[in-house]
Structure 1
Amino acid sequence: MKAVGVVVEYNPFHNGHLYHLRESVKKSNADIVIAVMSGYFLQRGEPALVSKWERTKMALQGGVDLVVELPYAFATQKAETFANGAVSILDALHCSYLCFGSETGDIAPFLHTNEFLQKESEQYEEYIKHFMQTGVNYPTALSLAYQKISNRKDTLDLSQPNNILGFHYVKAISKLNSNMIPLTIKRYKAGYHDKDFASTSIASATSIRNSLFDQNADISSYVPNDTYTILEKYKEQYGVFHQWENYFSFLKYSLLTMKEEELKSIYEVEEGLENRVLKLIIDSHCFQDFMEQLKTKRYTWTRLQRLCMHILTRTSKQEMNLINQHETSPYIRLLGMSERGQEYLRSIKKNLKLPIISKVSGFHHPLFEIDLRAAATYFMIFPEPLRSRLLKTEYTTPPIRMSY
């Protein structure tokens, strides 16, 4: 059986994702689809709209055969680290292909760019440092450095968000010496950052979330029926779609009761940011207000949201150093599978390159401890006894099985 891998957040699963899945299968001619999915907190430094279990159901109902979790330590990082973790898991699961969406839609520029930057890596790194010293943020420095050294027509536009992620997937495959073949599909209609609906059937996850937070908006045209039902049921059952404002009081409490030295030990708190954070939190009344004051030219909104998330989950630099040393995931957390996915897993089980976790009890790893802390943090917004019941699901929920 041949497997095609996809790297996803499904926040939530929508028609664009469904299109991507179908095109991935068509392009790879694969027998099954494996999704590496972020858990409770996401790459842009935000809580997921609904829990990972609900999003796993969306994925399985949309046609994914195996859903595994990208650990918090990779899921909440810059593009390169995010890609390293995801690709290492797909490689460990013996995927034949990795298929990602991009603004370019052609794999050749990704391959050319990766090869080019490997040859010019020293000069590239020098230009990145140079542009960082001018005060621009890291993603901008990467793009400017690349523009400075590249004058070839067959290289990639690295100012586009999906192109950036795709480039790092290709780079990670190369670094791992993986046999996986990268494929790409052009993003269809909606842009990654679109805040409003751009068509009658395809919309970005950002615009769908914005509409969900607006009580009167209708998203039914933009998501599969199964997704719509899951979202409706979650809101009815728990009364909320998760967003940063739900967590602001916990963030403020953490900062007001945290000593400066402790804050300096938190991952991504650098260059005196602790002083700015502690000063601004006192008079901030909501997360939006806090972020608008905190934002500078040097730090992107996303980078600062991730910093806040690491404060909330008490994730330290020392803990995160583990992935800086190895750059690959040390385990695979199984979230759900179809009958085909179960059959595939059975066929590769003896040759798995990483331990696979289907039961939480008995497994110990420092990075897995962060995953468990993230789960606890995610459910803290609920009143008791609901909070304790939901906390328990992280330990008691078995992988979801879907029959077609």
Structure 2
Amino acid sequence: MRATGIVVEYNPFHNGHLYHVAQAKKIAQADVCVAVMSGSFLQRGEPAVVDKWTRTKMALHAGVDIVIELPYAYSTAQARQFASGSISLLHAIGCESVVFGSENGDIAPFSHTHHLISSHRTEYEAKIHEAMQLGLSYPKALQHAYQHVLTYATEATVDLAQPNNILGYHYVEAAHELTIRPLTIPRIAAHYHDENMAHDTIASATAIRKALFDTKNLRDIEAFVPAPTYEALTDWQTHSDFIQWQTFWPLLQHTILQKTPQQLTQYVDVSEGIEFAFIKAAKTSTSFAEFMQKVKSKRYTWTRLQRMITHIFTGYTKELNATFTAPRYIRLLGITKNGQAFISQQKKSIPLPLISRVASSDDAMLQFDLQAANLYDVGANMTRSAPRLNVDYRTPPLRL
């Protein structure tokens, strides 16, 4: 059996994701699709709209054969670390390829871009450092450095101003370090950050979440998601609100205000005096949106600030982060019969522990994942009719 991998968040799963799964198997000529999925907190520094188990169920009903969890250390990291952790797990489980969405669906410009940057790596990194010293945000610093090395280009390259292309470049970069083949398909109809639903059946996850938060009427998004997703979201709504930072605001505000500025600097990404702004804003804000408007500046993107906030909320310190240099296990969240057959075929060659029951492992990286999941549930319990905790300890991998 041949497997292809995809890197996902499914926040939530929609018709564009359904297309991605089907096309991934098709262009990779694969029997099995493995999704490495972020858990409770996501790459843009925000809690998932519904929990990992609900999103796993959506994926299994839509053609994904195996869902594994991307550890918190990578799911909340910048694009390069996010991609590196994801690709290494797909490689470890035995995927021969990885398929991602991009703006034009052509892998050649990504390969050319990777070769270009690799050939001028020292100069590229120096330009990034130079730009950040001048006060540019990390994404803008990357653009500055990229525009510089583009002067050496002799073949078509990708536009790294597009969010999906940035991640795609880092997938290709990580894949080149391993024996895994990068492939890409074009995104259809909706772009990554589109907030409008202009197409009849395709909308971005951003637009779908906006509709869920604004109206809370699932009928507004029914045409844009597969039936199992709609059913899963309906079930979730019967016992909880859809999750966003505002849901957690009282807990986040409490967490920030009980820390000194010096204590806040121990958390990943918190630096350069932003800790004082966090405390000042937390003292005077009545909502998460108001808090963010008070701390946002040209120096800090919304996403960068949210990542800092996520690490403060979960207690993810720089000291702990320094100990996590590579994924150390494969956490199984869900599997189909087809996926089980693949695992049986691969089991002896998988180099990392394959974890189905979390109680069987005391790995520090996994323990932090469990802590983050519990804190997610504490926040969700503020709107949930039937509160719950320690769900990961009581939930085996979902089987379809």
Query: TM tier, shorter chain?
Result: over 0.9
User: How big is each residue's C-alpha offset from its partner over 1:312-365, in whole Å with a ceiling of 9 and x where there is no partner?
Assistant: 101100111123xx2x21111100000010010011111111111100113012
SS at match of 2:196: coil
1:250 aligned residue: 251
Q: Work out the CA distance in 2 between the residues paired with 1:387 and 1:227.
A: 21
Alpha-carbon distance between aligned partners in 2 of 1:76 and 1:32, rounded to the nearest angstrom: 27
Q: Letter of the aligned partner of 1:300 in structure 2?
A: T
Distance 1:210 1:241 in 2: 11
Pair 1:17–1:260, CA change in 2 (3 A): same
Moved more, 373-382 or 38-47: 373-382
Q: Matched residue of 1:303: which SS?
A: helix
The answer to whether 1:56 aligns with 2:56 is yes
Could you tell me which amino acid in structure 2 is paired with residue 313 of structure 1?
A: T
Instruction: For residue 222 of structure 2, give the secondary structure of its aligned residue in structure 1.
Output: coil
What TM-score, normalized by structure 1, do the two folds share? 0.95
- 1:378 alignment counterpart: 376
Q: Equivalent residue for 1:121? A: 121
Q: How far is the alpha carbon of 1:261 from its aligned partner?
A: 2.5
Any idea what SS the aligned residue of 1:394 has? helix
Greater shift in the superposed pair: 143-152 or 342-351:
143-152
The residue identity in structure 1 corresponding to 2:101 is G
Contact (CA 8 Å) 1:380, 1:387: kept in 2 or not? Answer: no
Which position in structure 2 is the counterpart of 1:44?
44
C-alpha distance in 2 between matches for 1:383 and 1:286: 18
What is the letter of the counterpart of residue 354 of structure 1? L
CA distance in 2, matches of 1:111, 1:48: 32
Deviation of residue 14 (structure 1)? 0.3
1:227 matches 2:225: no
Q: Is the Cα–Cα contact under 8 Å of residues 47 and 378 in structure 1 kept in the other structure?
A: yes
Q: How far 1:198 sits from its partner (Å)? A: 2.3
Task: Report the CA distance between 1:387 and its aligned residue.
Answer: 9.1
Alpha-carbon deviation of 1:390?
2.6
Amino acid aligned to 2:267: I
Secondary structure of 1:5's counterpart equals strand
Q: TM-score, normalised by structure 2?
A: 0.96
Q: Percent identity?
A: 46
Map of 1:69-148 to 2, 5 A cutoff? 69-148=69-148
Q: Distance in 2 between the 1:140 and 1:390 partners?
A: 41
CA positional deviation for 1:381? 2.6
Partners of 1:258 and 1:212 lie apart in 2 by 33
1:104–1:163 contact (8 Å) kept in structure 2: no
Structure 2 unaligned residues grouped into runs of 5+: none
Letter in 2 for 1:257: Q
Deviation per CA, 1:34-59: give whole Å up to 9, x if none: 00000011001111011100000000
- Which residue number in structure 2 is paired with residue 65 of structure 1? 65
Q: Is the 8 A contact 2:11 2:205 kept in 1?
A: yes
Q: How many residues align?
A: 396
Which residue does the alignment assign to 1:170? Answer: 172
Name the structure 1 match of 2:192. 192
**Residues 33, 64 of structure 2: 8 Å contact kept:** yes
Provide closer, same or farther for how the CA distance between residues 241 and 106 of structure 1 changes in structure 2, counting only shifts above 3 A.
Answer: same
Task: Report the 3-state secondary structure (helix = DSSP H, G, I; strand = E; otherwise coil) of the residue aligned with 1:69.
Answer: strand
